[in-house]
């Protein structure tokens, strides 16, 4: 039996340059898919997987993110007084218990690996999850829950993976696996942002991980990797070199790359179409748009 995973790290200290000028003052994680910030999707997924302690690695300019998790007693009282019970419930579902959230600063954006290793003291000697809020995954069973269930069988370190198109693979961490026959795949090697034509497979690492503290210790002797940053992929790959098991987990669900503009827009449309209150109006608009474009061609 492996130790239960109850802690999750949310690295949110990146600069978010692809969304400038918005990210000059709005953290990327506060940007909304319809009416819910990206971070809310990540928190809900973590809760569903049994996470009890939420560790945010933040940076300068992210105070809106910290404010988002404050309770809003005045707003709650006003919604209650005006009988807006549905809205009140939505609001209350975002409340986090005191003492369950910790904020840490990454003083310089030295990479995802560095951001995660900033949380080392809070992690102690337990396995932990890492969730990148800009990878949003729509799934019947939330992705991290799928992974926690698989991890209960395997232990070791586990990364979420999916196939991506050959022309996109060089933007990802990529897995070299023993066999692709099942959802859980033993990893032989992994490489961050391989040069074009050098990727060992088309299995890309997606922003969900279950790791153990050994991975963080690996940063003691690892230098900077791809892009001059401390890469989480390198620290996980070092586990394999040290003879410890790493698994790729091919999750069920649809992933949206909300760190990119096109991915964010696709997610916005998909999540809006999934909503009873928006579906009809939006699909009428999309059908009209399609017809107009078709006629113009």
Residues lying near ligand UTP in the complex (CB under 6 A) are found at 11-18, 28, 57, 106, 109-112, 114-115, 132, 134, 259
Minimum CB separation of residue 109 from ligand UTP in Å reads 3
Cβ proximity to ligand UTP: between 109 and 155 the closer is: 109
Torsion of CA 140, 146, 149, 154, to 10 degrees: 160
Query: For residues 113 and 213, is the Cβ–Cβ distance under 8 A?
Result: no
Minimum CB separation of residue 36 from ligand UTP in Å reads 17
> Using CA atoms, how far apart are residues 13 and 23, in angstroms rounded to an integer?
12
Cβ proximity to ligand UTP: between 132 and 204 the closer is: 132
Minimum CB separation of residue 291 from ligand UTP in Å reads 35
Minimum CB separation of residue 77 from ligand UTP in Å reads 34
Cβ proximity to ligand UTP: between 264 and 271 the closer is: 264
Count of beta carbons in the 10 Å neighbourhood of residue 262: 9
Q: Compute the Cα dihedral for 136, 194, 232, 145 and give only its sign.
A: positive
Within 190-241, residue ranges assigned H as helices are 213-217, 232-241
Cβ proximity to ligand UTP: between 208 and 272 the closer is: 208
Cβ proximity to ligand UTP: between 72 and 226 the closer is: 226
Minimum CB separation of residue 213 from ligand UTP in Å reads 19
Provide φ and ψ at 188, rounded to 5°: -90, -30
Strands 184-192 and 173-177: antiparallel
Minimum CB separation of residue 175 from ligand UTP in Å reads 18
Minimum CB separation of residue 171 from ligand UTP in Å reads 9
Cβ proximity to ligand UTP: between 18 and 224 the closer is: 18
Query: For residues 43 and 30, is the Cβ–Cβ distance under 8 A?
Result: no
Query: For residues 127 and 211, is the Cβ–Cβ distance under 8 A?
Result: yes
Cβ proximity to ligand UTP: between 12 and 123 the closer is: 12
> Using CA atoms, how far apart are residues 260 and 97, in angstroms rounded to an integer?
32
> Using CA atoms, how far apart are residues 104 and 102, in angstroms rounded to an integer?
7
Strands 184-192 and 246-250: antiparallel
> Using CA atoms, how far apart are residues 95 and 54, in angstroms rounded to an integer?
13
Minimum CB separation of residue 29 from ligand UTP in Å reads 7
Provide the 8-state DSSP code for 247: E
Q: Give the CB-side neighbour count of residue 14, counting CA atoms within 13 A.
A: 20
Of 152, 169, 161, 168, nearest in space to 208 by CA: 161
Using CB positions, name the residue nearest to ligand UTP.
14
Cβ proximity to ligand UTP: between 62 and 250 the closer is: 62
């Amino acid at each position: 039996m492996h130790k239960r995973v109850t802690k999750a790290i949310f690295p949110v200290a990146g600069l978010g340059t692809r969304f400038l000028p918005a990210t000059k003052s709005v953290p990327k994680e506060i940007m909304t898919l319809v009416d819910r910030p990206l971070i809310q999707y990540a928190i809900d997924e973590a809760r569903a997987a049994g996470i009890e302690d939420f560790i945010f690695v933040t940076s300068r300019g992210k105070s809106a993110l910290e404010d988002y998790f404050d309770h809003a007693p005045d707003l709650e009282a006003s919604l209650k007084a005006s009988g807006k019970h549905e809205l009140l419930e939505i609001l209350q579902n975002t409340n986090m218990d005191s003492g369950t959230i910790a904020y840490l600063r990454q003083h310089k954006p030295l990479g995802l690996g560095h951001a995660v290793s900033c949380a080392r003291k809070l992690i102690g000697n337990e396995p932990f999850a890492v969730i990148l809020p800009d990878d949003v995954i729509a799934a019947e069973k939330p992705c991290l829950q799928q992974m926690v269930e698989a991890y209960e069988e395997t232990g070791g370190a586990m990364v979420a993976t999916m196939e991506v198109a050959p022309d996109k693979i060089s933007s990802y961490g990529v897995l070299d696996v023993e066999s692709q026959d099942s959802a859980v795949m033993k990893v032989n090697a992994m490489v961050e942002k391989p040069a074009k034509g050098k990727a060992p497979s088309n299995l890309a690492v997606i922003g969900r991980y279950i790791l153990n503290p050994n991975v963080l210790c690996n940063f003691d002797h690892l230098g900077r990797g791809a892009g001059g940053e401390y890469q989480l992929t390198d620290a996980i790959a070092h586990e394999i070199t040290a003879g410890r098991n790493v698994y790729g987990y091919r999750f069920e669900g649809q992933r949206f790359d909300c760190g990119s503009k096109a991915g964010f827009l696709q997610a916005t449309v998909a999540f809006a179409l999934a909503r009873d209150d928006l579906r009809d109006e939006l699909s009428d608009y999309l059908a009209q748009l399609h017809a107009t474009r078709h006629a113009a061609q």
